[in-house]
Amino acid sequence: MKGYMDSTNSLLDFLKAFESALEQRNSDLQLVKYRQNHLNVILKTLNYALKLTQEQLLQSTVYSCVELVELRSQNGQFFHIHRI
């Protein structure tokens, strides 16, 4: 709008151009809101599925630690660590 309007344009032309610029701005804002709501993945998980997934994640990171008595020395203890 800035490059197209000068003192020779009528007030009506200015108002039309201003209205067009406002409509374009509103359209751009609606597009941004649409992209935020629809392009971002929103996962809706039921409670039982969420609980099951959390338990599986917890089990995948559980380790067992067993002290190896026969390797114990005065300087320290030895442990055998393995995934359950």
For strand 79-83 and strand 63-67, is the pairing parallel, antiparallel, or unpaired? antiparallel
pLDDT at 23: 95
Between 36 and 22, the higher pLDDT residue: 22
What are the tens digits of pLDDT across the range 35-83? 887 776 667 778 888 888 888 888 777 776 666 666 666 666 666 666 6
**Torsion sign (Cα): 33, 34, 40, 45:** positive
- Count the Cβ atoms, other than its own, within 10 Å of residue 17: 15
Contact status, residue 17 vs residue 1, Cβ threshold 8 Å = yes
pLDDT at 28: 95
